[in-house]
Amino acid sequence: MFDLKKIFCRKNLKKHILIGLALLGLFILVLYNAFKSEPISYMTVTAQVRDISKKVYATGTIEGIEQVNVGAQVSGQILKLYVQTGDDVKKGQLLCEIDPKIQETALKTAKAQIAIIEAKTKSQKAQIKKLKFELDRQNQLIKTNATSRQELELAQANYVMAVSSLEELNAQKEQAQLQFDDATTNLGYTKITAPFDGTVYATVVSEGETVNANQTTPTILRLANLEKMKVSTEISEADVVNVKTGMDCSFTILGLPYRTFEGKLNRIDPAPSSYKSSTNNSTSSSSSSSNNSTAIYYNSDIIADNQDRTLRIDMTADVVINIADKKQVLTLPLTALRRVIDDSTAQIYVLKDNLVERKNIKVGLKDDQYIEIVGGLAKDEQVVIGDDVQTAEAQALEKDAKRRRGPF
């Protein structure tokens, strides 16, 4: 007879063992899932071929390449204005005439003074001739004791005084001649002419108005050469080391943001723009060097053609100076760089088999978004970019630490 109780106990034991094994497997699976490290997902790119260019950006003000205030060098009433704002003029063209009465009077006075002095000079020369004859006669008579020593000395004194008077008249004539020359020049100044070919862009006075040139030179009108324009701009000290005269430039203006004007960098000042407003260069230099928080800028000029007269004085220009260009080169976004080691070497992280690897690459030209890859990177390698670069660096450091610790 079978012992049913024993058989029943064996079946329960087997059942409990199977349940225990199942629970143990489940527990192991839970532990595995808890401690298993999921692979980190990274944002990556591959190097792309594109054009790249390095540029310097600035803002400037447009002026005529030649731009002057035409002023009056003599005082008087504006007799006639021969031009108005907007007129094109040629060099030497009559622009304005000041009433010449004052200058004509001064010229006549100087001329009359010269005539008076010349008449006196002529009379004095005749007198000298007469006194010289008397002196010679007295010298002959003294030899034979036919005259006294007093008579001879008197003749000598009269002759010397006459010669001295003639010298004084000559000096007066020179002075009168200078006054005559000044009067002639001032009379010429009453006719104001254009110093160069250009356009009148402002008239400051009106006909009938009186100008006074005794202390300052009053402005009559403003003249500019608008065939070529000058963009006056400032370049920061960070950028000025990269620019040179003769470089190609382009700029846009507010009214035509989609039209690009071309020009050449014509001039860069050797000293910061702050020196122009300083009365003492040594003081300016000291303050500039001691205050590192103050931005330093260098004045520069860009010359551009303006044959169609689109550009006007005092317009604002957004300037781009082209430093260098390269066509169809391998590039990476700047966000892929972890650090720049030197001018030609940078550090990046590449992704291989879900693991990151630190790599140094050779770099070249850089713009505001991309950098040229010169060597050390294949075109199909996955490069970590953006905020993930820091995560990749942390993983690489952890990997290095585990390698140094060994398997235990």
- Per-residue pLDDT of 235-291, as tens digits, reads 998 889 889 999 999 999 999 999 999 999 999 999 887 776 554 443 333 333 334
Residues in the chain: 408
Residue-wise pLDDT tens digits, 11-34: 566 666 767 666 666 666 655 554
Residue-wise pLDDT tens digits, 208-228: 999 888 868 889 999 999 999
- Return the structure tokens found at 355: 């693991």
CATH number listed for the domain at residues 69-211? 1.10.287
Q: What is the pLDDT of residue 32?
A: 54
**71 near 219, Cβ under 8 Å?**
yes
For the segment 199-215, the average pLDDT, to the nearest whole number, is 89
Q: What is the pLDDT of residue 162?
A: 86
Q: What is the pLDDT of residue 187?
A: 92
> How many Cα atoms are found within 13 Å in the side-chain-facing hemisphere of 397?
6
- 184: enclosing H helix or E strand: helix 149-189
- Residue of 101, 109, 103, 158 lying closest to 130 (CA atoms): 158
Q: What is the pLDDT of residue 291?
A: 47
Answer whether 0.75 is exceeded by the pTM: no
Q: What is the pLDDT of residue 93?
A: 95
Kindly compute the dihedral angle of the four CA atoms of residues 16, 18, 20, 21, in this order, to the nearest 10 degrees.
160
Q: What is the pLDDT of residue 389?
A: 67
* Spans of all domains in the chain: 44-52+326-403, 69-211
Identify the three-state secondary structure at position 106.
helix
Q: What is the pLDDT of residue 18?
A: 66
- Which one is predicted more confidently, 73 or 351? 73
396 pLDDT tier (thresholds 50, 70, 90)? low
For the segment 98-105, the average pLDDT, to the nearest whole number, is 92
Q: Report how far residue 92's alpha carbon sits from residue 114's, in angstroms, rounded to the nearest whole number.
A: 32
152-156, 239-243, 283-287, 398-402: the lowest-pLDDT one: 283-287
Q: How far apart are the first and last CA of the chain?
A: 60
302-306, 389-393, 398-402: the lowest-pLDDT one: 398-402
Kindly compute the dihedral angle of the four CA atoms of residues 321, 323, 325, 331, in this order, to the nearest 10 degrees.
-110
Answer yes or no: is pLDDT of 6 > 90. no
Q: What is the pLDDT of residue 367?
A: 83
Range among 96-110, 139-153, 332-346 rated most confident? 96-110
Over pLDDT 90: what percentage of the chain? 41
> Selecting from 3.30.413.10, 3.30.40.230, 2.40.420.20, 3.40.390.10, what CATH number does the domain 44-52+326-403 have?
2.40.420.20
Q: What is the pLDDT of residue 101?
A: 92
Over pLDDT 70: what percentage of the chain? 81
Q: What is the pLDDT of residue 279?
A: 46
Answer yes or no: is pLDDT of 369 > 80. yes
Is 44-52+326-403's fold the same as 69-211's? no
Identify the three-state secondary structure at position 25.
helix
Residue-wise pLDDT tens digits, 294-346: 788 999 999 999 999 999 999 999 999 988 888 998 988 888 888 888 888 98
- Which one is predicted more confidently, 149 or 91? 91
**In sequence order, what are the beta bridge partners of 261?**
251
Identify the three-state secondary structure at position 42.
coil
312-321, 367-376, 396-405: the lowest-pLDDT one: 396-405
63-72, 197-206, 237-246, 381-390: the lowest-pLDDT one: 381-390
The per-residue pLDDT of the chain, averaged, comes to 83
